[in-house]
Structure 1
Amino acid sequence: MSGVLYASKKELSEMIRRTYVLFEGEFNDIHNSNKDKRVEGVDKTPAQMLAYQLGWMNLVMDWERNEQMGLECHMPAPGYKWNQLGPLNESFYEKYSGYTLEELRSLFQETEQQWQNWIDSLSEEELFVQGMRQWTGTKPGWAMVKWIQINSVAPFKSFRTRIRKWKKGQLTAMDVRNGEI
């Protein structure tokens, strides 16, 4: 398993859970009325960060479901090519735009649990050996574990940084409006 990010399925699962809890917890002090507010220097709103995660995590699990059912796997998604990720992400924002922040958080919690259940159902070999699934491709270093990492742990960490920056920018904007800065 050279070049692998994790030594075992257990280690992967624990890292997903740890980074999920840290990221999701950042939303505890964000009010629903601010879910779509933009802050200078942050490219996504709080709702968009959650919609992005919901979209990608469900998409990856769909790839797996489709392959297991013998269906064609359209990657990254039906109607989109890999050079159209911006429009694909926009489709996620649109899909989840009518949800409250609380509903998004609840969906995110459910999706993270489904993600964990899916990982639990996989063998170490399925996770760590290249080519165990057609949807993972044949490019060296892209075993299923890497797809899981780049669609959970990595964005959970980067979005946690962004949501913290968003909250700091939101506070600064409020201070400016209140004449405190």
Structure 2
Amino acid sequence: MQEYDNKVALIDAIKKTYQLFDREFDEILEEKKDIRIKEVDKTPQEMIVYQLGWLNLIMGWENDELNGKEVVTPSRDYKWNQLGQLYQSFYAEYSGYSLKELRNLFKESIEMWCDWIGQLSDEELFTPNVRKWTVTRANWPMWKWVHINSVAPFKSFRTKIRKWKNLTETI
């Protein structure tokens, strides 16, 4: 897994990979956003919604902990062995949105995400177990949670959206 020297490097990586991923949607037509093909596990809309769901979920964990509330991961309604159902809830929540609206929400979420990271101390970001919601058997510091829910999927989904575009050119 990629590592970061500081939070500025992490924020830069998030912004860069987000911009590259988002640009892939420039030539996708609204009427094609829900086309599913067997070679790619998510539609273009689902790729953005998946990201919105996770970004908002993690921000919710952080807000709950900072407000003294019990944090339940991944959510109060779903356990870790029910991620497929969690993703379906993300898709249902954003089902009525246009691709343009989703991209705008995604951009706003990334801005909030980066602002949040910018306000964290190095200890909060790079030291394991500073936040209760980050405590797992893997003993990850917060930056790894941030990375696997932003930079990493932005890269892997960029590959998927490119494959989707190549395979749907004639549809």
Q: Following superposition of structure 1 onto structure 2, how do residues 49-64 of structure 1 map, counting pairs within 5 Å?
A: 49-64=47-62
Give the Cα–Cα distance (whole angstroms) in 1 for the partners of residues 159 and 32 of structure 2. 18
The higher radius of gyration belongs to 1
| Kept after mapping to 2: 8 A contact 1:4/1:128 | no
1:4 deviates by: 7.4
Give the Cα–Cα distance (whole angstroms) in 2 for the partners of residues 72 and 105 of structure 1. 31
1:79 deviates by: 1.4
Give the Cα–Cα distance (whole angstroms) in 2 for the partners of residues 14 and 83 of structure 1. 32
| 1:76 aligned residue | 74
Give the Cα–Cα distance (whole angstroms) in 2 for the partners of residues 160 and 125 of structure 1. 31
1:69 deviates by: 0.1
Q: Which letter maps to 1:80?
A: Y
Q: Which letter maps to 1:115?
A: W
- Count of residues in correspondence between the two structures: 171
| 1:18 aligned residue | 16
Does the alignment pair 1:159 with 2:157? yes
Gap change, CA 1:134 and 1:30, over 3 Å in 2 = same
Does the alignment pair 1:111 with 2:97? no
- Correspondence for 1:88 among 86, 89, 93: 86
| Kept after mapping to 2: 8 A contact 1:40/1:169 | no
| 2:3 aligned residue | 5
Secondary structure of the equivalent of 2:75? Answer: coil
Gap change, CA 1:4 and 1:104, over 3 Å in 2 = closer
Does the alignment pair 1:146 with 2:144? yes
1:138 deviates by: 4.5
Give the Cα–Cα distance (whole angstroms) in 2 for the partners of residues 134 and 73 of structure 1. 8
| Kept after mapping to 2: 8 A contact 1:64/1:135 | yes
Does the alignment pair 1:65 with 2:63? yes
1:39 deviates by: 2.1
159-168 or 37-46, which moves further after superposition? 37-46
140-149 or 151-160, which moves further after superposition? 140-149
Please, what is the CA RMSD of the aligned residues? Answer: 1.3
Q: Which letter maps to 1:113?
A: E
Q: Which letter maps to 2:10?
A: L
| Kept after mapping to 1: 8 A contact 2:51/2:150 | yes
Percent of aligned pairs with the same amino acid: 53
| 2:122 aligned residue | 124
Which runs of 5 or more structure 2 residues have no equivalent in the other structure?
Answer: none
Which runs of 5 or more structure 1 residues have no equivalent in the other structure?
Answer: 175-181
